[in-house]
Amino acid sequence: MRSGGDTIVGLLPLTLINSLLFGKRLISTAFAVYGGPLADDPETHAALDAEAVDIQSSCGADALEYRNRSRLRPDWPGKTDVYATFRKPVDPDSEVNMLSLPRKRRAMVRKGQAADLRVEEVSRVDRVWLSYAESVRNLGTPVFPKRWFAALKQQFGDACVLHLVFRIRMSMPAACPWSSGTSCTSSISAVPARVASGQ
């Protein structure tokens, strides 16, 4: 964090991950999709970058990784071929959305459309969170707290719509899509119906 007097002018969250599989890495927002330096001006941005490099060196990390939607430092090494972003514009025409998907993904969607699925819009964050938490916990992924979901819902209000997708015959939630404005994110789940209902 960098401050100018009593005002915070820059922030860069960093997480040190030490993994036998992936090595020792210093990552901005390691358990989220996006994140990197946030600065009011180029000088602050440069200071945050320099401090991050110093921290990387002092803790012996093999790599410093920023997770941004676009490269902030073209002079640094970067990964451009990694499928790590999940943002996609949603067109009002469903066929346009379908054609924007790769062919195999379209086939999977068509298969889902032919299945016995029921979509339910829900207002309670806890119903979505319970399904999400069970799913990612089963995958061994850290679970974001319920208050984070509640803060998103509070911040975006009616622009944030929550859905649960159920398999009718199994009464089991199959997905927890979030949509906000013109973009959509989906958390795929497969958990018992009692979890989604909050029982």
- Residue pLDDT, tens place only, 52-93: 999 999 999 998 988 887 777 888 887 777 666 667 788 889
Query: What pLDDT is recorded for position 184?
Result: 46
Range from 41-50, 55-64, 158-167, 173-182 carrying the lowest mean pLDDT: 173-182
Q: What is the DSSP string of 130-199?
A: HHHHHHHHHTTPPPPPHHHHHHHHHHHGGGEEEEEEEETTTTEEEEEEEEETTEEEEEE----HHHHHT-
Predicted pLDDT at 85: 62
How confident is the model over 122-133, as a mean pLDDT?
85
pLDDT of 177 reads 52
- DSSP three-state, residue 57: helix
CA 178 to chain centre: 11
10 contact partners, CB below 8 Å, separation of at least 6: 1, 2, 37, 38, 39, 40, 44, 45, 47, 48
Residue 51 has pLDDT above 80, yes or no: yes
Whether the pLDDT of residue 188 is over 60: the answer is no
